[in-house]
C-alpha cells in the first residue's frame, strides 16, 4: 500500500519543482526587459490631478484651477445615445441608469482645458467615427481615455494610438492574478496610467513592476479615503476639488488659483 502513496508524493514533488522552475525562468526573463515611457506631453507632468466632474454633477462648469494648471484635468463620462454623444452622469449601476448634461459637441466648444479624460460608458463601441470627428476640431486637445470594458479600450487604442490610456478593471484583475502566482513580470500592461481604488489593491512587487515599466500610478480617492501614502502615486482622481487641493498641498504642489 505504501508504493502508490510514495509514487503520488514523488509526482507531486516533481510538479511543484518544475512549476517553481518555470515561474523562476519566466520571472528572470521578465526582469531582463527594459522599458521606455510613452512620450506624451501630459505624461511629462510629475503629478496629475483629475477632477471627476461628471460624478460631481458639474461637467459644464468652468473651474479656474483646471483652466490655469496644465496638470489639473477634467474627467467626463460619455455615452452614445439617440443620435449623438452625450456627457452624462451615472445615477445607478444596477440597474444602469444615467442622466445627460447635454451633447459632447457643446461641452467641447466651452472647454478651456488643454487635456480631457473621457470614460466611454457604452458596452459596445457605437459611432466612433462621430466621436473622432468631434475631437478632430480640437487638434491641440490631449485625450486620456478609459472604459470599464476592455474590448472598447483595445479597439480605441488600435484606432487612436496617440491618445493616453487609463487601465480598465480587467487589467487590474489580471495584474492581481498574475502577481498572486509571481508572474507580474510577464503580464502585458498596455495602459499608460494604472488606476486603483485603494492603496492596498496591489502588492509591493506589482507596484515595483508598474514603476519599472514607467507607467503613471494613480488612485481614485473616495470621500473618506483616510490616511494614504500619497508619495507612491502620481495621479489622483476625485469628484471633490477640495480633496484634490488637500493632496496637492501635502505634496507641495499647490496649483495656481
* Same domain as 162, residue 67: yes
100: which strand partners? 88
In this structure, the answer to whether residues 92 and 118 fall within a common structural domain is yes
Residues 14 and 106 in one domain: no
Residue 77 lies in a domain: yes
* CA–CA gap between residue 41 and residue 140 (Å, rounded): 11
Is 255 within the bounds of a domain?
Answer: no
Q: Are residues 122 and 21 in the same domain?
A: no
Rounded Cα distance between 99 and 117, Å, is 19
pLDDT of residue 160: 92
Residue 97 lies in a domain: yes
Query: Do residues 2 and 92 share a domain?
Result: no
Regarding whether 77 and 22 lie in a shared domain, the answer is no
How far is Cα 257 from Cα 97, in angstroms, rounded to an integer?
A: 35
In a domain, 256, yes or no: no
Q: Is residue 49 included in any domain, yes or no?
A: yes
pTM over the 0.75 mark: yes
**Average pLDDT for runs of 10 along the chain of length 257:** 69 75 68 78 93 90 89 95 91 86 94 94 86 94 92 91 93 90 86 92 92 94 79 93 91 79
Q: In the 3-class helix/strand/coil scheme, how is the chain assigned residue by residue?
A: CHHHHHHHHHHHHHHHHHHHHHHHHHHHHHHCCCCCCCCCHHHHCCCEEEEEHHHHCCCCCCCHHHHHCCCEEEEEEEEEECCEEEEEEEEEECCEEEEEEEEHHHHHHHCCCCEEEEEECCCCCCCHHHHHHHHHCCCCCEEEEEECCHHHHHHHHHHCCCCEEECCHHHHHHHHHHHHCCCHHHCCCCCCEEEECCCCCCCHHHHHHHHHCCCEEEEECCCCCCCCCHHHCCEEEECCHHHHHHHHHHCCCCCCC
How high is the pLDDT of residue 186? 84
Domain annotation covers residue 24:
yes
Residues 131 and 236 in one domain: yes
Residue 64 sits in a domain whose CATH number is 3.20.20.190
Q: Is residue 163 part of a domain?
A: yes
Q: Are residues 4 and 60 in the same domain?
A: no
Q: How many domains does the chain have?
A: 2
pLDDT by residue (tens digit) across 211-222?
999 999 999 998
Which residue segment(s) compose the domain that 152 sits in? 37-250
| C-alpha–C-alpha distance, residues 105 and 108, integer Å | 5
pLDDT at 1: 47
Same domain, 196 and 224: yes
pLDDT digits (tens, 9 = 90+) for 10-50: 677 777 777 677 766 666 666 667 778 888 999 999 999 99
143 and 62, same domain (yes or no): yes
Is 54 within a domain?
yes
User: What pLDDT sits at residue 209?
Assistant: 92
Tell me, yes or no, whether 104 and 153 share the same domain.
yes
* pLDDT value, residue 30: 65
Do 89 and 7 lie in a common domain?
no
Amino acid at each position: 500500500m505504501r508504493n502508490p502513496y510514495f509514487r503520488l508524493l514523488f509526482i507531486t514533488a516533481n510538479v511543484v519543482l518544475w512549476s517553481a522552475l518555470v515561474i523562476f525562468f519566466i520571472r528572470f526573463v521578465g526582469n531582463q526587459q527594459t522599458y521606455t515611457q510613452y512620450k506624451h506631453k501630459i505624461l511629462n507632468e510629475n503629478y496629475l490631478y483629475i477632477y471627476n466632474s461628471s460624478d460631481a454633477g458639474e461637467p459644464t462648469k468652468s473651474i479656474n484651477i483646471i483652466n490655469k494648471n496644465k496638470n489639473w484635468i477634467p474627467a467626463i463620462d460619455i455615452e452614445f445615445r439617440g443620435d449623438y454623444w452625450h456627457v452624462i452622469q451615472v445615477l445607478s449601476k444596477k440597474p444602469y441608469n444615467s442622466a445627460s448634461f447635454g451633447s459632447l459637441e457643446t461641452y467641447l466648444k466651452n472647454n478651456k482645458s488643454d487635456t480631457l479624460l473621457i470614460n466611454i460608458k457604452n458596452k459596445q463601441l457605437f459611432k466612433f467615427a462621430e466621436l473622432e470627428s468631434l475631437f478632430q476640431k480640437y487638434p491641440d486637445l490631449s485625450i486620456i481615455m478609459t472604459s470599464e470594458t476592455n474590448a472598447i479600450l483595445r479597439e480605441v487604442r488600435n484606432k487612436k494610438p496617440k491618445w493616453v490610456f487609463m487601465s480598465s478593471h480587467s487589467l487590474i484583475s489580471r495584474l492581481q492574478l498574475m502577481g498572486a502566482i509571481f508572474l507580474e513580470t510577464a503580464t502585458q500592461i498596455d495602459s499608460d496610467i494604472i488606476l486603483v481604488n485603494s492603496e492596498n489593491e496591489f502588492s509591493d512587487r506589482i507596484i515595483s513592476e508598474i514603476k519599472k515599466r514607467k507607467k503613471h500610478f494613480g488612485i481614485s480617492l473616495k470621500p473618506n479615503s483616510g490616511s494614504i501614502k500619497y508619495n507612491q502615486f502620481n495621479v489622483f482622481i476625485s469628484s471633490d476639488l477640495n480633496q484634490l487641493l488637500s493632496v496637492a498641498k501635502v505634496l507641495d504642489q499647490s496649483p495656481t488659483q
